[in-house]
């Protein structure tokens, strides 16, 4: 039997009994019961019922001795239990019928009750509680008929009416079977719900990680390729008339591509070696001068200023702030006719947040410059993930403004 069939749903490692997973009941409940015939447990049960019924017959001399017919009925009831996982409803009614025939033939009371108990247990656990209740109810009704009304016409000879008091333990036995079965059924449903919740959480974490990596790659590549695109155009235009300026453009392209390759390599390291610390620190606002230089290489003059007293930013907030400014400047290079931009980093006193503002004077050029169109969405996702906000809109004077507010303490992940 392959691993997926042997453990049900083919879920994550913790649901397949991997080290560090949940205790054995969950792994047992995760198995597909219909995949194998439970011959080991059935064989042990058959031996116990046969031996126990032999002892019961010797201790109840007023009942019929256990002959070939009686043993055949016990074996038949035990053999039916081999199919209790695949066909629980027919098995529970068949075992109840075999047990009723066994009692009607006058054989001794004993472990034969166990056959019905196991069949009912299997039916209830698999969700067929109504069938189990009906089977037990019919068995009990048949027992009442045999013990109190039909006994003169059935073996053993000279049998007398059974006292009504003996029905109390029979009733208790029925209730115990149903209660135990319902308890296991409820626990299995709880285990299944836990598995589903943990699998959903694993999928959410995987989706969030993929989204994070996609944002990082987009921001790295979009900025660097925009610089490369602009400089490549400059180099082509000046290749014949001004070779020295074309050489400068090619040098800028080389530097931008090298930096992009380094940042992409850093992002991909998290995929190849999850859990390991990165070899280089994640970028932050301390690298803002590098963005200014790269924008200048693309023909964009960037003026930066700081409002308030700078405070250290948490790593996640620092990275998000850097990427938002980077993407905003990339959009200016791509989509704006302005060749100047202003970046303001604000630290409002006592507010517990950092404010970013990137302005250009426009107007929009109307072309996409090869962009993916995911820049603004990526900025919003970064801000929202930290519990912050972001606005990106056209100013009344025709320019464009990106304004982000990021808390210094990111929101707790539920």
Q: At what angle do helices 88-104 and 68-80 cross, to 10 degrees?
A: 160
- What are the residue ranges of helices labelled H in 149-240? 167-238
**Whole-angstrom Cα distance, residue 84 to residue 316?**
56
What sign has the CA pseudo-torsion 10, 13, 19, 23? negative
Q: Is the pLDDT of residue 91 over 90?
A: yes
Q: Do 190 and 164 fall into the same domain?
A: yes
Q: Mind listing the pLDDT tens digit for each residue in 37-89?
A: 999 999 999 999 999 999 999 999 889 999 999 999 999 999 999 999 999 99
Q: What pLDDT score was predicted for residue 17? A: 40
What sign has the CA pseudo-torsion 110, 116, 122, 126? negative
Q: Do 58 and 90 fall into the same domain?
A: yes
Q: Mind listing the pLDDT tens digit for each residue in 354-412?
A: 999 999 988 877 655 444 456 788 788 888 888 899 999 998 888 899 999 999 875 54
E strands, 246-351, where?
A: 301-308, 340-347
Q: What is the CATH number of the domain that holds 322?
A: 3.30.565.10
- 73's CB contacts (< 8 A; 6+ apart) are 98, 101, 102, 105, 107
CB burial class (10 A; 0-12, 13-18, 19+) of residue 401?
A: middle
**Residue 66 falls inside a structural domain:** yes
Residue with more model confidence, 151 or 201: 201
Q: Do 155 and 208 fall into the same domain?
A: no
Range(s) of the domain holding residue 146: 3-201
Q: What pLDDT score was predicted for residue 12? A: 39
CB burial class (10 A; 0-12, 13-18, 19+) of residue 80?
A: buried
Q: Do 299 and 160 fall into the same domain?
A: no
Q: What pLDDT score was predicted for residue 397? A: 87
Q: 256 with 228: CB under 8 angstroms?
A: yes
Of the spans 23-32, 222-231, 275-284, 383-392, which averages the highest pLDDT? Answer: 383-392
Q: Do 179 and 242 fall into the same domain?
A: no
For residue 303, list its beta bridge partners. Answer: 342
Q: Is the pLDDT of residue 339 over 50?
A: yes
Q: Mind listing the pLDDT tens digit for each residue in 244-274?
A: 777 777 777 777 777 777 767 766 666 555 5
Q: Do 349 and 264 fall into the same domain?
A: yes
Q: Mind listing the pLDDT tens digit for each residue in 191-246?
A: 989 999 998 988 888 787 777 777 777 776 766 777 777 777 777 777 778 777 77
Q: 76 with 119: CB under 8 angstroms?
A: no
Q: Do 389 and 342 fall into the same domain?
A: yes
**Residue 131 falls inside a structural domain:** yes
Q: Do 37 and 162 fall into the same domain?
A: yes
Last residue of a domain, one of 201, 218, 241: 201
Q: Do 300 and 235 fall into the same domain?
A: yes
Q: Do 218 and 330 fall into the same domain?
A: yes
Give the other-Cβ count within 10 Å of 45's Cβ: 18
Residue closest to 285 by CA, chosen among 313, 255, 327, 260: 313
Residue closest to 385 by CA, chosen among 211, 231, 251: 211
């Amino acid at each position: 039997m392959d691993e997926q069939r042997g453990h049900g749903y083919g879920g994550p490692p913790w649901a397949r009994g991997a080290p560090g997973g949940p205790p054995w009941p969950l792994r047992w409940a995760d198995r597909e019961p219909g995949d194998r015939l439970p011959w080991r447990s059935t064989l042990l049960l058959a031996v116990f019922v046969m031996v126990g019924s032999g002892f019961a017959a010797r201790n109840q001399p007023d009942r019929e001795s256990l002959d070939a017919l009686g043993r055949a009925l016990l074996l038949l009831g035990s053999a039916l239990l081999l199919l209790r996982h695949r066909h629980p409803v027919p098995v529970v009614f068949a075992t109840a019928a075999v047990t009723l025939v066994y009692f009607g033939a006058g054989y001794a009371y004993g472990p034969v009750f166990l056959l019905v108990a196991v069949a009912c247990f299997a039916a209830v656990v698999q969700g067929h509680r109504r069938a189990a209740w009906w089977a037990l109810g019919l068995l009990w009704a048949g027992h009442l008929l045999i013990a109190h009304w039909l006994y003169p016409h059935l073996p053993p000879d000279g049998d007398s009416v059974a006292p009504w008091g003996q029905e109390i333990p029979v009733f208790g036995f029925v209730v115990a079977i149903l209660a135990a079965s319902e308890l296991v059924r409820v626990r299995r449903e709880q285990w299944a719900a836990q598995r589903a919740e943990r699998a959903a959480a694993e999928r959410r974490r995987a989706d969030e990680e993929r989204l994070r990596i996609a944002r990082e790659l987009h921001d790295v590549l979009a900025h660097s390729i925009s610089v490369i695109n602009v400089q490549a155009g400059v180099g082509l235009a000046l290749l014949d008339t001004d070779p020295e300026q074309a050489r400068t453009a090619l040098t800028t392209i080389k530097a931008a591509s090298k930096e992009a390759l380094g940042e992409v390599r850093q992002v991909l390291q998290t995929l190849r070696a999850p859990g390991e610390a990165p070899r280089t620190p994640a970028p932050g606002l301390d690298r803002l001068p590098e963005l200014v230089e790269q924008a200048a290489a693309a023909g964009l003059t960037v003026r930066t200023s700081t409002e308030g007293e700078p405070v250290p930013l948490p790593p996640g907030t620092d990275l998000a702030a850097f990427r938002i400014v980077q993407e905003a400047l990339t959009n200016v290079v791509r989509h704006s006719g302005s060749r100047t931009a202003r970046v303001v980093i604000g630290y409002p006193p006592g507010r517990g947040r950092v404010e970013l503002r990137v302005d250009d004077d426009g107007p929009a050029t109307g072309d996409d410059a090869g962009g993916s169109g995911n820049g603004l969405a990526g900025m919003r996702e970064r801000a929202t993930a930290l519990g912050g906000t972001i606005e990106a809109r056209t100013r009344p004077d025709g320019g464009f403004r990106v304004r982000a507010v990021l808390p210094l303490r990111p929101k707790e992940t539920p």
